[in-house]
Amino acid sequence: MADTPEHARARAIGLAAETMGELISFWGFKASMGRIWTLLYLSPGPLPADRIAELTSLSAGAVSMALAELGQWGLVHRAAKLDDRKRHYSADTDVWGIVRRIVRERELRLVGRAVERFGEAIEVLEAARRENPDDEELLFMLARLRGLHDLARIGYRMVERFAEVGKLSLLPIRGRLSAFRGAS
């Protein structure tokens, strides 16, 4: 016997929400955030927090915290309902925009930090090399660090471009990765 539409919707939401929870936790977010966003994304209208808790089987506190975090990221928005005094929430439905925003705010910062730190490590070794110009190990390490620094700078530009226009090309790093293989 086929599922009723209500049962089919509930099962599909459950499967999709669990899947998004797994995906989003892989990226370092709480699984509950993915579950709630998916529920709201699949909902034809805004939902109040108590209904979100009921449909996700999350506690009211977990829902409240997740909604606050999702709101900070701009992934959910409060939506007013004239006939109800409860706060209602809806999902940002621009999935590609969400991905680009998260990449810009998290990954770009992370890669930028790598560029800075590799640069600092190079400066440390260059200072030591000025004092010890015959140290071959310093020269070896400098060459390796410069390669990592270059790769991080290329990565930064790639992530930055992806965050701006939503396109990513691996061509800029293709030659660099081949060079790393030969340098080992």
Residue 120 has a pLDDT of 96
Burial of 139 (0-12, 13-18, 19+ CB in 10 A): middle
45 CB contacts (<8 Å, ≥6 apart)? 90
Residue 176 has a pLDDT of 55
- Assign 29 to helix, strand or coil: coil
DSSP one-letter code for 166: S
Q: Write out the H or E segment, with its range, that includes residue 76.
A: strand 76-81
pLDDT tens-digit profile of 138-181?
999 999 999 999 999 998 888 888 777 766 655 655 555 555 55
Distance CA 177, CA 150 (A): 11
Neighbours of 183 (CB within 10 A): 10
What is the average pLDDT across 90-103? 87
For 94, 107, 158, the CA distances from 165, given in Å and listed in that order, are 14, 15, 11
Better-predicted residue by pLDDT, 28 or 164: 28
- Assign 88 to helix, strand or coil: strand
What is the average pLDDT across 71-93? 88
pLDDT tens-digit profile of 33-79?
999 999 999 999 999 999 999 999 999 999 999 999 999 999 999 98
What is the average pLDDT across 89-113? 88
pLDDT score of 130 more than 60:
yes
What is the average pLDDT across 3-26? 90
pTM to 2 decimal places: 0.71
Neighbours of 7 (CB within 10 A): 10
* Closest CA relative to residue 20, chosen from 36, 44, 43: 36
How is 13-76 classified by DSSP, letter by letter? HHHHHHHHHHHHHHTTS-HHHHHHHHHHHH-SS-EEHHHHHHHHT--HHHHHHHHHHHHHTTSE
